[in-house]
């Protein structure tokens, strides 16, 4: 990969300075996504996935802030931009799709009004041209009778259709990067599959890079090129989807995969790995997974660093499952 990645996050730290103490929601997170590539960001609830997405978007509110690291978007550090500069990028060049489409949609405005306003916010085009683009975006996400649908209000759509509209809005400016934060979790499995298929196709065709956030490993199995597994604010394993799923190195990833019945079954949540995610406020020293880890040893009382024990594989563990790869 000699080409510059669309997004490169280096040693990102996003902390919440609360009365109870500092919550290190994202701690030393690094990854990059190339043009037209799809990264799956996977982990249990509270592991820091959404905060990672919000950090890239510049949407972390006090008492939280990006406390360190770089967020290089086509080589430019977003963490250093002013709110005004960030506003120009947000929506036009980097778009976010949320779990709840009503985070994007305005309930009291017709779909055409919202979409046309979105186009005009960043592009000096005529209203007729903006309408044409809005219509094309609805067609792109597989919405039937787009002319009719443009005149409707959000409440006149089903949940799946509403999410498609939110995705269409994210696509309006042909962003270079889309961050999708569990947008299909609430949807029916069939609709989820259709949306994943369409989004994947769009990325391949338009060269858009995608970060797909999910707690559901089976979703990224069919969608992503690379996976980052997060645990307690950190990335614990990174690699191509096939390698990570076929030969997981980290005991946590192994636990996650053990809980997915089949790589072809979508939409099933992860079964529980025994134990609880530790509180980020009082993380014990050493490896954060220690209390739940079948491989834990004395060595794990020290914080493990990210290492690359095999080509193109990274893992944060003293005792990775290298034996599964040897064969």
Ligand X SMILES: Nc1ncnc2c1ncn2[C@@H]1O[C@H](COP(=O)(O)OP(=O)(O)OP(=O)(O)O)[C@@H](O)[C@H]1O
Q: Which two tokens stand for residue 79?
A: 């963490």
238 binds ligand SF4 (CB under 6 A): no
Cα–Cα separations (whole angstroms), residue 26 to 12, 150, 231 = 7, 39, 10
Q: Which lies closer to Mg ion via its Cβ, residue 279 or residue 324? A: 279
Interface map 2-21 toward ligand X (x if CB under 6 A): --------------x-x---
14 binds Mg ion (CB under 5 A): no
Q: Which lies closer to ligand X via its Cβ, residue 116 or residue 236? A: 236
Q: Give the shortest CB-77-to-ligand X separation in angstroms.
A: 21
Q: Which lies closer to ligand SF4 via its Cβ, residue 130 or residue 300? A: 300
Q: Which lies closer to ligand X via its Cβ, residue 118 or residue 233? A: 233
Q: Give the shortest CB-181-to-Mg ion separation in angstroms.
A: 6
d(CA 224, CA 239): 11
Q: Is the peptide bond before 63 cis (omega within 30 degrees of 0)?
A: yes
Q: Which lies closer to ligand SF4 via its Cβ, residue 9 or residue 293? A: 293
List the one residue from 14, 47, 50, 184 that touches Mg ion (CB under 5 A): 50
Burial class (CB in 10 A: 0-12, 13-18, 19+), 154: buried
Task: Select from ligand SF4, Mg ion, ligand X, none the partner in contact with residue 317, using the beta carbon and a kind-dependent cut-off of 5 to 8 Å.
Answer: ligand SF4
Interface map 62-101 toward ligand X (x if CB under 6 A): --x-------------------------------------
Task: Select from ligand SF4, Mg ion, ligand X, none the partner in contact with residue 300, using the beta carbon and a kind-dependent cut-off of 5 to 8 Å.
Answer: ligand SF4
248 binds ligand SF4 (CB under 6 A): no
Q: Which two tokens stand for residue 86?
A: 């960030």
295 binds ligand SF4 (CB under 6 A): yes
Interface map 188-227 toward ligand X (x if CB under 6 A): ---------------------------x------------
257 binds ligand SF4 (CB under 6 A): no
Q: Which stretch binds ligand SF4 (CB under 6 A): 1-9, 115-123, 183-191, 282-290?
A: 282-290
231 binds ligand SF4 (CB under 6 A): no
Residue 317 contacts residue 310 (beta carbons within 8 Å): no
Backbone angles phi, psi at 272, to 5 degrees: -75, 135
The string of DSSP codes covering 42-102 is E--TTSSHHHHHHHHHT-PPTTEEEEEEEEEETTEEGGGS-HHHHHHHBTTTEEEE-SSGG
- C-alpha count within 13 angstroms, C-beta hemisphere, residue 246: 9
Closest CA to 228 of 321, 309, 314: 314
Q: Which two tokens stand for residue 6?
A: 């669309």
List the one residue from 37, 243, 287, 314 that touches ligand SF4 (CB under 6 A): 287
> 43: which residues sit within 8 A by CB, 6+ positions away?
49, 215, 229, 230, 231
Its sign, for the CA torsion 134, 139, 141, 147, is positive
List the one residue from 5, 34, 40, 46 that touches ligand X (CB under 6 A): 46
Task: Select from ligand SF4, Mg ion, ligand X, none the partner in contact with residue 304, using the beta carbon and a kind-dependent cut-off of 5 to 8 Å.
Answer: ligand SF4
- The 10 Å Cβ neighbour count of residue 204 is 12
319 binds ligand SF4 (CB under 6 A): yes
Residue 264 contacts residue 250 (beta carbons within 8 Å): no
Q: Which residues form the interface with ligand SF4 (CB under 6 A)?
A: 251, 287, 289-290, 293, 295-296, 300, 304, 317-319
């Amino acid at each position: 990969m000699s080409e510059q990645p669309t997004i490169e996050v280096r040693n990102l730290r996003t902390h919440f300075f609360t009365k109870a103490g500092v919550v290190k929601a994202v701690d030393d997170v690094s990854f990059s996504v190339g043009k037209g590539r799809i990264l799956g960001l996977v982990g249990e609830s509270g592991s820091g996935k959404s905060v990672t997405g919000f950090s890239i978007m510049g949407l972390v509110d006090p008492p939280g802030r990006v406390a360190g690291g770089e967020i290089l978007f086509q080589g430019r550090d977003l963490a250093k931009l002013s709110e005004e500069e960030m506003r120009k990028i947000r929506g036009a060049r980097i778009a976010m799709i949320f779990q709840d489409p009503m985070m994007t949609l305005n309930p009291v405005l017709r779909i055409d009004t919202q979409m046309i306003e979105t186009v005009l916010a960043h592009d000096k085009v005529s209203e007729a041209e903006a309408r044409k683009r809005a219509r094309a975006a609805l067609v792109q996400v597989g919405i039937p009778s787009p002319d009719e649908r443009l005149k409707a209000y959000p409440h006149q759509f089903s949940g799946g259709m509403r999410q498609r509209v939110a995705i269409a809005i994210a696509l309006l400016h042909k962003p270079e990067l889309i961050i999708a934060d569990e947008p299909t979790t609430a949807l029916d499995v069939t609709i989820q599959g259709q949306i994943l298929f369409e989004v994947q196709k769009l990325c391949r065709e338009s060269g858009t890079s995608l970060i797909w956030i999910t707690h559901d490993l089976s979703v990224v199995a069919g969608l992503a090129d690379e996976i980052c597994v997060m645990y307690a604010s950190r990335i614990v394993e990174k690699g191509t989807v096939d390698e990570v799923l076929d030969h997981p190195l980290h005991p946590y990833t192994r636990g996650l995969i053990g809980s997915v019945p089949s790589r072809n079954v979508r939409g099933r949540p992860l079964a529980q790995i025994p134990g609880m995610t530790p509180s980020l406020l009082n993380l014990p020293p050493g490896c954060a997974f220690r209390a739940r880890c079948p491989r834990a040893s004395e060595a794990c009382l020290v914080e493990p660093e990210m290492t690359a024990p095999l080509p193109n594989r990274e893992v944060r563990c003293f005792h990775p499952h290298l034996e599964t790869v040897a064969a």
